Structure 1
Amino acid sequence: MKKTILIILLGFITVGLSAQKGVRKAVRTGNKAYNEQRYGAAETEYDKALKENASSKEASFNLANTYYKQQRWDDAVKEYQHYLTLENEDQTKMSSAWSNMGNTFLKKKANEKGQQMQQMAQQAGQPQQGGQQADNLKLSMEAYKNALRLNPNDDETRYNLAVVQKMIKDKEDENKDQNKDNKQDKNKDQKEDPKQDPKQDPKDDQKDNKQDKQENQMSQDNIQQILQAIEQDEKETQERVKQAKAQERKQKNENNRKQNKDW
């Protein structure tokens, strides 16, 4: 009876080790494809790893990054959230996930303008629902805050947070000014004699329109600056990975030559 139990236990251990080996192989293959910018192939490998082991932290985090690279923002956010349910020990890695989530919401914000124009063309004459732009900025802000709570030394995330907070404040101030102007216009209309046709200097309208365009352009420029900095950091990270691998191969070759010489 004891032998039977022992054999069964050994069988479970063998199957477990084999599954872990398959997960590691899939993740390595996925990492290679990711570094070669073959994101579809990388996604397939990370999915394979997660099917073998749904709690693989590396596969989950890298899969989220792959979604991000493919501009699948909602899928990326969902997978970063899944990763955070798996990782509850390494605060630096948790902070990175939150920071990446903040970047993802910011990417969504940057793509809203084109989406809104497309929706307006498709739904001409129908009322548009607002609020989505402000939501993505606020979600980005909260994600950056969570990242800094876990890693207060992340200067890049701190900068991104400061810019996003400034954009939100500018938007709120703009809405307050618009509400104030609308209220003043309404009161003015009520006081004026309806028979009169008050003259308005067209230069004032042109000035207001020009100021609104400048503020919108500043917001878009701020987003682009952050996104460009993020892209540059990703390129530098990939270059460091390549250099580290090249150095590792060089060191391995030197060790092999030394071993052969000693032998």
Structure 2
Amino acid sequence: MGKIALTILFSIITVIANCQQEKPLVIKGNELYKKQQYDKAAEEYQKAADINEKNPLAMYNLGNALYKSKKTEAAEKVYDNAAENAKDPNGKSRAVYNKGVALTRQQKLQESIMAYKDALRLIPTDEEARQNLQKALNELKKQQQQQPKEDKKKQDKDKQKQKPNDQPQNKSKLNQKQAEQMLNSLRQEEKKLQQGIQKKNNTGGANGKDW
């Protein structure tokens, strides 16, 4: 029993020591965040997260700093960690909600809709989550309505691209028809000429007959 008690006691001391190391880093990160120095704030939050990757506050604030630095994909993953390690429904809901915002910025509308729904399941009275959910649903519907129009425009453009290729073919057919008509006309003239020559030869023979 003595060994087990010692291990538990040692674990508690380690947790307390880690908290003492993390807290100043988070506070410094907060100060930098207020000054809109988001990259530097993210560095401080990351240091705190490196000490304890399950610190929900450090991860949540790190997600916010990354989002403000327009590193939305990285922020999205950090919010997942913050939500997973949150100690209460409110903290979990805020992390999930912010993940939804990051997804919306990336135009991942279906995923953002799921995130806002999850946030509302945790805190049904979250009006911001409800409003953002409605906006995401409206935007998704708008995109789905525009898609057939864009497909039609693409088809029309493809048809227009094909027309110039068709024109030389039509022109070639027209020239071929004209050539055939000219050839037939020449044949007719040649035929008439031959008939004239033959008639003249026949007439000349009769006149030169030896009586």
| Aligned twin of 1:158 | 130
User: How far did residue 108 of structure 1 move?
Assistant: 2.0
| Aligned twin of 2:28 | 29
- Distance of 2:116 and 2:9 partners within structure 1: 47
* RMSD of aligned Cα (Å): 3.1
Look up the equivalent residue of 1:143 and give its one-letter code. A
Aligned residues: 159
- Distance of 2:145 and 2:58 partners within structure 1: 43
TM-score, normalised with respect to structure 2:
0.63
- Distance of 2:154 and 2:65 partners within structure 1: 46
For the pair 1:170 / 2:168, whether they are aligned, the reply is no
Pairing of 1:1-263 with structure 2 (within 5 A) = 14-87=13-86, 89-109=87-107, 136-176=108-148
| Structure 1 residues 39 and 6: alpha-carbon distance in aligned structure 2, compared to 1, 3 A threshold | same
| Aligned twin of 2:186 | none
Look up the equivalent residue of 1:142 and give its one-letter code. M
User: How far did residue 18 of structure 1 move?
Assistant: 2.5
* Contact map agreement 2:28 2:44 (CA 8 A) in 1: yes
User: The residue matched to 2:106 in structure 1 has which SS?
Assistant: helix
Runs of 4+ in structure 1 deviating by more than 3 angstroms, as ranges, are 4-16, 176-183
- Distance of 1:141 and 1:59 partners within structure 2: 25
- Distance of 1:15 and 1:182 partners within structure 2: 63
| Structure 1 residues 49 and 170: alpha-carbon distance in aligned structure 2, compared to 1, 3 A threshold | same
Higher relative contact order (CA 8 A, sep 6+): 1
Look up the equivalent residue of 1:31 and give its one-letter code. N
User: How far did residue 158 of structure 1 move?
Assistant: 1.1
- Distance of 2:135 and 2:89 partners within structure 1: 24
User: How far did residue 17 of structure 1 move?
Assistant: 2.8
1:195-240 per-position Cα deviation (integer Å, ceiling 9, x unaligned): xxxxxxxxxxxxxxxxxxxxxxxxxxxxxxxxxxxxxxxxxxxxxx
- Distance of 1:8 and 1:165 partners within structure 2: 52
| Structure 1 residues 171 and 34: alpha-carbon distance in aligned structure 2, compared to 1, 3 A threshold | same
- Distance of 2:11 and 2:154 partners within structure 1: 72
User: How far did residue 104 of structure 1 move?
Assistant: 1.0
Look up the equivalent residue of 1:95 and give its one-letter code. S
User: How far did residue 22 of structure 1 move?
Assistant: 0.7
Structure 2 residue runs of 5 or longer lacking an equivalent are 156-165, 167-211
User: The residue matched to 1:41 in structure 2 has which SS?
Assistant: helix
- Distance of 1:13 and 1:84 partners within structure 2: 24
- Distance of 2:114 and 2:54 partners within structure 1: 26
Look up the equivalent residue of 2:92 and give its one-letter code. M
Q: Percent identity?
A: 30
| Structure 1 residues 104 and 14: alpha-carbon distance in aligned structure 2, compared to 1, 3 A threshold | closer
| Aligned twin of 2:203 | none
* Contact map agreement 2:83 2:91 (CA 8 A) in 1: no
User: How far did residue 176 of structure 1 move?
Assistant: 4.2
Structure exhibiting the larger radius of gyration computed from Cα positions? 2
Structure 1 residue runs of 5 or longer lacking an equivalent are 110-135, 184-193, 195-263
- Distance of 2:69 and 2:83 partners within structure 1: 21
- Distance of 2:5 and 2:142 partners within structure 1: 69
- Distance of 1:83 and 1:162 partners within structure 2: 25
* Contact map agreement 2:56 2:81 (CA 8 A) in 1: no
